[in-house]
Amino acid sequence: MSRISDGKLDRMTDKILADLYVATEKKLADKAIEIAKNSRQCWINPYEPLLKQLPDELIAKTLNYNVTIKYPWNREFVPTDIPDTTSITQFVDSKMWEDIDYIQENWKFTSPTPIVNPCSFNNYGSTTAESQQLHPDMYEDAETLCKEKIKLLQEKARMQNYLDASISKNRTHKQLREVLPSSLHRYLPPETVKRKAIKKEARHVETPNFLGERQTINLLEDN
């Protein structure tokens, strides 16, 4: 039984996690974009008639609109909290985020054309969209999404911990087939098959008729 290399096992784990979770992560990310977009619209609705009366050059515009999300809403966040839970799976040990119970993120909406946004100006004359607070009308939708995100993060962490534990104790194809469910067997790296020596039949060539005579002569001359 040959051991599977660390690199192949890491790629196997990444592929399993990607197939299980990437599609759902994309759906949740799209929901976050929509909530950010709707939150901006809620804030700007009362001022839209006035903004339309102002020349464009008097209004700061950017392509991006950011919403600060800190859920649960009444939780006191501290510096030791993970600053951005969207990157948690890449930069934090899975054992630390298996029991994650909060979301701290910036949900961003990007417009195809510049839109009115609260901006900050730097010393070089460029502008940056400032992150805004979520509009109260969007709290219910955002809370539902945060709960979905937390549930997915916890599940993904448990799945990664399960795979890590299984792989750390079982390093061959035979062992992993025994411990992993059959639905995951297709992710196992191709097994290296040792080529067996091919038994070839002897191909006879006619023996020269003088060989016996030559050997007899040599024997007699030696005596």
Transcribe 141-162 into DSSP letters: HHHHHHHHHHHHHHHHHHHHHH
Please give the average pLDDT of every successive group of 10 residues along the chain, which has 223 residues. 87 93 94 96 87 76 90 95 82 75 94 80 64 93 97 90 89 90 91 64 48 58 58
Predicted confidence at residue 107, as pLDDT, reads: 96
82-91 tens-digit pLDDT: 889 988 766 5
Beta strand spans in the chain (E): 61-71, 103-116, 119-121, 127-129, 132-133
The pTM of the full predicted model, rounded to 2 decimals, is 0.79
Helix axes of 139-169 and 6-44: crossing angle, nearest 10 degrees: 180
Q: How far apart are CA 16 and CA 106, in angstroms?
A: 28
39-82 tens-digit pLDDT: 999 988 888 888 888 777 777 778 889 999 999 999 999 998 98
